[in-house]
């Protein structure tokens, strides 16, 4: 017991020291020019990109999740693609000016950011969060997932050393190495933490939003993919299988359930088998359900990021060696339906929709189960159908005719490259954007006066105007007579008539 307490205390002390060090470095860094900042960010991105393959292998070895080659691609997106998307963004000094309206925008950093990193993307997310923090003159203190401490720490070491070599103050990039939930909780509440970037499970995101600090948290992504009757079936299925098998399904934007129009269901089934899908029999499906969710409503962590063969073995099912994904035919949606859950593995549910209306109902049910606000994938050659889904579905990203997993993070689409995908208020998030550097800036605005407000100072005060003209006249006459004193030369009626005329004119 003593050793556990000591470990927790050490973890808390490490966290406090990291925050203190990061804050001190940020105070220096916030004075850097745009050119100096850009040089630092460019150097960090280059160093991260160069180490993408090594760190991909390290992530798979430590976590036991995913595919090293695919981790490499994610690391490249998190470094090179993110850099290309933010390199021209102005983040220092005056960043915008509306000359016509005389409004000037000035960028200011948030300060010190807490970055929470998931086990599914432990190095690519670390690269991404570090780059957008440094681009905006912020420091970052990262809390890795307990199962991915070493690879995340190494990714941040690469970033930190590259930053220092490019002229940044030492200490801007910090990593907590002692896995402690208490330390992570206290990090998010630390008075010197100015923003939280949380990527992880629902409980963690909720904790971030409950910390009392500004936070960008992202929810789960139980992404449905609809294959509409006009879709190019062969290409659609190829994209879907490639997406689902990419890094064994560990990206939160990966498709989780196929909804297919009944008119093309047989074509889709043939195309799935051609692309390496294994369609479970009824008996095999029952065995797989117990592996997916031994406890109703909860996904078995042993299947996350694992190969189809590994998962099938847990269910006592033998698969061909070239199997890329597992498919179970399903009709129900609910927490007690394992195939309907977000599985983060190469396992699909497949539903048959009688028409577009039925397809929308199925997609909405899947999103309500655990993916509100995240993403929806769609394959169709009818633009009107795509727009209809985009308008009606409560999601922040609609991916059309592409790999949802890679498309949502900006790999195959024009969306902003990001490893933190907001779900909007649909999913209880503050933003529906792909979070990037612009979300880590305070924008101050200096505005010159360009309009005049006409306030007529000669008007009778409101409290006087509210009284009747006769009352006002009597008050003024009394005041005038008192000031003149008693005199036979002063006719009160003449004074009253004169005052009445003046009050009348002022009241108009």
Q: Which residues are catalytic?
A: 252
If one counts every other C-beta atom within 10 angstroms of the C-beta of residue 275, the result is 17
Task: For residue 444, give the 3-state DSSP assignment.
Answer: strand
CB hemisphere CA count around 459 (13 angstroms): 10
Q: Smallest Cα–Cα separation from 296: which of 250, 341, 348, 257?
A: 341
Q: Residue 35, exposed/middle/buried by CB under 10 A (0-12, 13-18, 19+)?
A: exposed
Q: Smallest Cα–Cα separation from 56: which of 145, 132, 148, 142?
A: 148
Q: Smallest Cα–Cα separation from 257: which of 275, 280, 240, 279?
A: 240
CB hemisphere CA count around 425 (13 angstroms): 0
DSSP symbol at 302: G
Q: Smallest Cα–Cα separation from 423: which of 342, 499, 490?
A: 342
Q: Smallest Cα–Cα separation from 377: which of 503, 257, 198, 497?
A: 257
DSSP symbol at 67: -
Q: How far apart are CA 122 and CA 63, in angstroms?
A: 9
Distances (CA, A) of 325 to 268, 297, 320, 370: 14, 22, 11, 21
Write the secondary structure of 124-148 as one string of H (helix), E (strand) and C (coil).
Answer: HHHHHHHHHHHHCCCEEEEECCHHH
Write the secondary structure of 380-396 as one string of H (helix), E (strand) and C (coil).
Answer: CCCHHHHHHHHHHCCEE
Q: How far apart are CA 293 and CA 454, in angstroms?
A: 70
Q: How far apart are CA 136 and CA 26, in angstroms?
A: 11
At residue 339's C-alpha, the angle toward residues 333 and 340, to 5°, is 35
Handedness of CA 398, 401, 402, 405 (dihedral sign): positive
Q: Which residues contact 74 (CB under 8 A, 6 or more apart)?
A: 56, 121, 123, 124, 247, 251, 419
């Amino acid at each position: 017991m003593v050793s556990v307490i000591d470990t927790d205390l050490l973890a808390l002390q490490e966290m406090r020291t990291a925050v203190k060090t990061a804050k001190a470095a940020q105070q220096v860094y916030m004075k850097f020019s745009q050119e100096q900042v850009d040089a630092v960010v460019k150097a960090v991105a280059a160093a991260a990109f160069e180490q993408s393959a090594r760190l991909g292998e390290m992530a798979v070895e430590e976590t036991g999740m995913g595919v090293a080659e695919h981790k490499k691609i994610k690391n490249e997106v998190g470094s090179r693609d993110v850099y290309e998307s933010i390199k021209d963004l102005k983040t220092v000094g005056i960043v915008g000016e509306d000359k016509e309206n005389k409004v000037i925008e000035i960028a200011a950093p948030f300060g010190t950011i807490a970055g929470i990193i998931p086990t599914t993307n432990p190095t690519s997310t670390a690269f991404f969060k570090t780059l957008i923090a440094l681009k905006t003159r912020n420091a970052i203190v990262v809390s890795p997932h307990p199962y991915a401490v070493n690879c995340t720490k190494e990714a941040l070491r690469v970033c930190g050393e590259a930053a220092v070599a490019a002229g940044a103050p030492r200490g801007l990039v910090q990593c907590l190495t002692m896995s402690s939930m208490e330390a992570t909780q206290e990090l998010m509440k630390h008075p010197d933490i100015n923003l939280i970037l949380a990527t992880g499970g629902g409980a963690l995101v909720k904790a971030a939003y409950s910390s009392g600090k500004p936070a960008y948290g992202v929810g789960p992504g139980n992404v449905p993919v609809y294959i509409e009757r006009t879709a190019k079936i062969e290409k659609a299925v190829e994209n879907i299988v490639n997406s689902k098998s990419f890094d064994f399904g560990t990206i939160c934007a990966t498709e989780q359930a196929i909804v297919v129009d009944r008119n093309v269901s047989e074509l889709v089934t043939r195309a799935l088998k051609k692309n390496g899908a294994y369609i479970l029999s009824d008996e095999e499906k029952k065995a797989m359900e117990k592996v997916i969710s031994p406890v109703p409503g909860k996904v078995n962590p042993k299947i996350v990021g694992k190969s189809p063969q590994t998962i099938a073995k847990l269910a006592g099912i033998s698969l061909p060696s070239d199997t890329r994904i597992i498919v179970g035919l399903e009709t129900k949606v609910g927490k007690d339906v394992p195939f309907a859950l977000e599985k983060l593995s190469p396992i699909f549910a497949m539903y048959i929709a009688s028409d577009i209306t039925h397809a929308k109902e199925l997609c909405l049910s899947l999103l309500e189960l655990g993916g509100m606000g995240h993403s929806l994938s769609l394959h169709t050659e009818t633009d009107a159908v795509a727009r209809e889904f985009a308008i009606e579905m409560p999601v922040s990203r609609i991916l059309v005719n592409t790999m949802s997993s890679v498309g949502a993070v900006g790999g195959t689409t024009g969306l902003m490259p990001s490893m933190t995908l907001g779900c909007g208020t649909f999913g209880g998030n503050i933003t529906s954007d792909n979070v990037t550097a612009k979300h880590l800036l305070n924008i101050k605005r200096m505005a010159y006066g360009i309009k005049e407000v006409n306030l007529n100072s000669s008007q009778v005060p409101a409290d006087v105007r509210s009284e009747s003209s006769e009352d006002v006249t009597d008050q003024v006459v009394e005041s005038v007579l008192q000031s003149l004193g008693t005199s036979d030369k002063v006719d009160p009626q003449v004074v009253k008539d004169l005052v009445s005329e003046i009050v009348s004119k002022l009241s108009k």
